[in-house]
Chains A and B, each alone.
Chain A
């Protein structure tokens, strides 16, 4: 069973941004996700934690339909996206339209072989935007949002790959921000970075939640505790426990969660 957070009386439940209901997922005949139910609250950071292979990345990639890129994958259940309450997984929904509203930042920085400017402008150009002034403004705003503007404003024409690893990841965050997404997905965004770059990205995520809802997969429990408002613990494709981060880390309801968090398991 799934133990949902029982909110304290004093706490106001924030509005929903998305909600997974009875979500299952198959890679061919292998069932990677089993009947997941979980809310994603608006302008909050929600972390997904759990041991390797527990399905947290698979779950994250359902939100922007990345599994559609490969044959043989199957979704069951729904992910309702608010405010319009569209089912993201519906066959009638175009995955490209989904990705227009939900952006993603990957584990390893993956800047395109283009200039810093063009990397950030990519999403806008893909959407058919061609007005120079509009793109200029959005690129600048996105780079500022990703705390990279000061470092790159004089070298926008240089290749994105010339930046350091941490800067590249912030460039990828800027790229994701430039299109004003409603939900930002992070798939272990700091696992390829050094501690200082990691601290920068964590600080950035905390700032970004003022504007955008964030769902982040992390294998680092301290990171989840530091940056997230809500935390979900997954194991073997199941959602074991979801709750307010403090409650999950201080007073987990489930024995399995406690074992994982205290390091007895995982």
Chain B
């Protein structure tokens, strides 16, 4: 073996520079992994303490949630019922409206309309949720009370509807992206068969974009389940095992706010409940993400 000539010799400074950059990038990537791991670790550790005192069967099957009372009950179903009911109302608003908006923007709107409408839509997603909360409490609830006089001042319905309005931009924007990504060749194929614009949108474009649209819906569900402020302000924070949206109720998230802002001593079982509730919430959103992942794989676009 001969000694390489000067021009082909290894450049050590370049080699070191590359290594340094690699290390910095790795470190940055590790931050997110570390944070996630740390959150899971704390949640599990603190929940462990909680479950030392409260049996898991009580947690899952008790029908009362009164952790701050002398006669304490820890039935998470009570909070989950609030979360499920308000999310269901929100999705009943957001999914149909969001999908229709997406179809309009992607398939029907002229270029100029889309350029104006889309930023406005995205602005809707940028409004702080506390404002939505008071909008529900002070505007929508009185309005609904004119139609249903028996509706209490705090209720899951009004909070759910406003939450749905908040989620519309996420559903619409992501669905629209998915539909716009459908190749023009498919649309042309449909038009060439004599299809109208509506037939092309509903029979070819939407089915082609189904995985992206499903992902948009799943994101909407995650947003609804994780939403806190609107529910804390407008839904009443009263633990209530009900699936009736016209009643007040507390959700997993609004309970966590309530306890975290209260004056419970750290380390008490009452305080410990928020970790158990947080763990439940995390498992719930994890489940939705897994469903979303599965659906993306199953209905992957085949153009």
Contact with B193, one of A69, A108, A123, A161 (Cβ below 8 angstroms): A123
Residue A103, interface by CB 8 Å: yes
Residue A251 interfacial (CB < 8 Å): no
In the bound complex, what is the Cα–Cα distance between A207 and B210 (angstroms)? 38
Question: In the assembled complex, how far is the CB of residue A186 from the closest CB belonging to chain B, in whole angstroms?
Answer: 12
Question: Hey, which chain B residues are within 8 Å of A122, CB to CB?
Answer: 190, 193, 195, 203
From B187, B189, B193, contact of A179 by CB (8 A): B193
Those of A116-131 within 8 Å (CB) of chain B: 122-123, 125-127
Given A112-B207, A113-B207, A122-B203, A172–B191 Cβ distance below 8 Å?
no
Query: Which of A96, A103, A110, A175 is most buried by chain B, counting CB atoms within 10 A of its CB?
Result: A110
Give the total of B residues in contact with A, Cβ under 8 Å.
Answer: 22
B192:A64 contact, CB within 8 angstroms: yes
Q: Residue on A with the closest CB to B196?
A: A96
Residue of B whose beta carbon sits closest to that of A64 = B192
B279: CB under 8 A from chain A?
no
- Chain A's closest residue to B192 (CB) is A104
B187 neighbours in A (Cβ, 8 Å): 69
Contact B189 A172 (CB under 8 A): yes
Contact A66 B188 (CB under 8 A): yes
Contact of A152 with B by CB under 8 A: no
For A225, the chain B residues whose CB sits under 8 A away are: none
Contact B189 A106 (CB under 8 A): yes
Considering residues B203, B210, B301, which has the most beta carbons from chain A within 10 angstroms of its beta carbon? B203
- CB under 8 Å from chain A, chain B span 188-228: 188-196, 199, 203-204, 207-208, 210
Contact of A99 among B194, B204, B210 (CB under 8 A): B194
Are B194 and A110 touching (Cβ within 8 A)?
Answer: no
A100 at the B interface (CB under 8 A) = yes
A–B complex contacts, Cβ < 8 Å, 26 sampled: A64-B192, A66-B188, A66-B191, A96-B195, A97-B194, A99-B192, A106-B188, A108-B185, A110-B183, A110-B185, A112-B186, A112-B204, A112-B208, A113-B186, A113-B207, A113-B301, A113-B302, A122-B190, A122-B193, A122-B203, A126-B203, A159-B302, A172-B189, A175-B189, A176-B193, A179-B194
A residues contacting B by CB (< 8 A) are 64, 66, 69, 96-97, 99-100, 103-104, 106, 108, 110, 112-114, 122-123, 125-127, 159, 161, 172, 175-176, 179
